[in-house]
Structure 1
Amino acid sequence: MKFHPRFFAGSLCVAAVVAWAHGDVTPQAVDTTGLPQLGEGWRPENPFRGNEAAIKIGSSAFNQNCARCHGLEAISGGIAPDLRRLDNDCATLKDDAKKAACVKENDDYFLNTIRHGRSRNGAVYMPPFEGVFTQEAMWAIKAYLEVRREKPL
Structure 2
Amino acid sequence: MHSPIMSIPRGVATALRTTALTAALIGAAGVAAQQASTEPITTPVTIDLSALPVLGAPWREDNPYRGDAQVAEIGRALFNQACARCHGDDGNATHHVGTDLRRLDSYCFAKIKDLAARRHCLRDNDHYFKESVLRGKIRVGVTHMPPWEGVLTQEAVWSLKTFLESRRP
Q: Same fold (TM over 0.5)?
A: yes
User: Which residue does the alignment assign to 2:83?
Assistant: 66
Q: CA deviation at 1:52?
A: 2.1
Contact in 2 for aligned 1:30/1:137 (Cα 8 Å): no
2:72 aligned with 1:55, yes or no?
yes
Deviation at 1:27, TM superposition (A): 4.8
Structure number, greater radius of gyration: 2
Structure 2 residue aligned with 1:120, among 128, 136, 139?
139
Cα RMSD, aligned residues only: 1.6
User: What displacement does 1:28 show?
Assistant: 2.8
Q: How far 1:135 sits from its partner (Å)?
A: 0.5
Give yes or no for the alignment of 1:83 onto 2:83.
no
Q: Partners in 1 of 2:156 and 2:137 — Cα distance?
A: 19
TM-superposed CA distance for 1:42, in Å, is 0.5
2:127, 2:153 → 1: CA distance? 16
Q: How big is the shift at 1:97?
A: 1.0
Secondary structure of residue in 2 paired with 1:129: coil
Q: CA deviation at 1:98?
A: 1.0
Q: 2:13 matched to which residue of 1? A: none
Which letter maps to 1:95? Answer: D
Aligned partners of 2:44 and 2:119: how far apart in 1?
A: 32
1:129 pairs, out of 129, 145, 148, with 148
**1:142 counterpart SS class:** helix
Cα drift, residue 78 of structure 1 = 4.0
Deviations 1:94-119 (Å, cap 9, x if unpaired)?
11111111111000000000011000
CA distance in 2, matches of 1:30, 1:115: 18
Instruction: Tell me by how many angstroms 1:36 deviates.
Output: 1.4
Looking at structure 2, the residues matched to 79 and 57 of structure 1 have their Cα atoms a distance apart, in angstroms, of 24
Q: Point out where structure 2 has 5 or more consecutive residues left out of the alignment.
A: 1-35
Once the two structures are TM-superposed, the CA of residue 44 in structure 1 deviates from its matched residue by 0.4
Secondary structure in structure 1 of the residue aligned to 2:54 = coil
Cα distance in 2 for partners of 1:29, 1:121 equals: 33
Taking only the aligned residue pairs, the percentage that are identical comes to 45
Matched pairs, number: 128
Q: Which ranges in structure 1 are unaligned for 5 or more consecutive residues? A: 1-21
The one-letter amino acid of 2:49's match is T
CA distance in 2, matches of 1:27, 1:103: 30
Which position in structure 1 is the counterpart of 2:162? 143
Measure, in 2, the Cα distance between the counterparts of 1:148 and 1:52: 11
SS in structure 2 of the partner of residue 119 of structure 1: strand
Higher relative helix content: 2
**TM-score, with structure 2 as normaliser:** 0.71
Deviation at 1:63, TM superposition (A): 0.6
Residue deviations 1:21-41, cap 9 Å, x none? Answer: x7x963533321111111111
Matched, 1:41 2:63: no
In the other structure, the counterpart of 1:4 is none
